[in-house]
Amino acid sequence: MSEQSETRFVLAVHNTLLGVFNYLVFNLPSKWKLKSGDFPFEMYASTKIGEVRWVRDGISVNYIYDGESALRMVVSVHENERQSKLVKRNVTVLRDESIDINGHRGRVVIGRTSRGLLKKTQLDYLRIVYRCNVTRRTIDLAMEGRCHEESLKTLTEAIQKSTCH
């Protein structure tokens, strides 16, 4: 996949008094879009590297989509090196492997999960977790929705080119 066939989005929170704080400069395949979620972004701590301020502890809920696929994406950023479970209890794992993101080692899990109490809905699941030693934060991207497995692989390849510092 060439650089021209991808789109970059700055996932950030803006504070009128303090300015802009980035969660991630997010890379997506060309036809994919990023939309803010229904909840406001939250930020509890930040750091500054050069001229850019980064969220060190916070959460952001967004949606990513193209013509055929749509995923709800929760971006959690933590200061400490939490060992969160990559695979939730109700996830059937299709792929679990190591990846490199912006020079950092991380893990990606692709699978299927179910939602609902009585009538279970099957959803596609993508989770990417890695530690940025430059900004001293753990970045956790958890996505659920409707997406073909091949599109999840393409999405993972694009996200690996995202910038975290």
Surface-to-core class of residue 136, CB atoms within 10 Å of its CB (0-12 exposed, 13-18 middle, 19+ buried)? middle
The reported pLDDT for the residue numbered 3 is 45
Place 6 in a pLDDT band, splitting at 50, 70 and 90. Answer: confident
50 CB neighbour count, 10 Å cutoff = 6
The H or E element containing residue 149 is helix 149-159
Surface-to-core class of residue 42, CB atoms within 10 Å of its CB (0-12 exposed, 13-18 middle, 19+ buried)? middle
The residue written with tokens 């996505």 in the block is 143
- Please tell me the pTM assigned to this model: 0.89
Amino acid at 49: I
Q: Which residues contact 77 (CB under 8 A, 6 or more apart)?
A: 23, 55, 56, 57, 58, 59, 137, 138, 139, 140
Q: Is residue 133 part of a domain?
A: yes
The reported pLDDT for the residue numbered 114 is 85
Which residues does residue 113 pair with via DSSP β-bridges, in sequence order?
91, 123
Cα 33 to Cα 9: distance, rounded to the nearest angstrom: 9
Q: Between 13 and 91, name the one with better pLDDT.
A: 13
**pLDDT exceeds 70 at position 4:** no
**pLDDT exceeds 70 at position 29:** yes
Amino acid at 132: C
Look up the CATH number of the domain holding residue 15: 3.40.1000
The reported pLDDT for the residue numbered 117 is 79
Q: Is residue 165 part of a domain?
A: no
Proportion of the chain above pLDDT 90, given as a percent: 67
Contact at 8 Å (CB) between 146 and 69?
A: yes
Place 120 in a pLDDT band, splitting at 50, 70 and 90. Answer: confident
pLDDT tens digit string along 147-161? 988 899 999 999 999
The reported pLDDT for the residue numbered 85 is 65
**pLDDT exceeds 60 at position 1:** no
Q: Is residue 164 part of a domain?
A: no
Q: How many domains does the chain have?
A: 1
The reported pLDDT for the residue numbered 135 is 93
Tokens of 81: 């090196």
The reported pLDDT for the residue numbered 15 is 84
pLDDT tens digit string along 57-91? 999 999 999 988 999 999 999 988 765 666 667 88
| Domain containing residue 15 | 3-159
User: Which sign does the torsion angle of CA 42, 44, 45, 48 carry?
Assistant: positive
Q: Is residue 92 part of a domain?
A: yes
Tokens of 49: 């590297």
Chain-centroid distance of CA 139 in Å reads 8
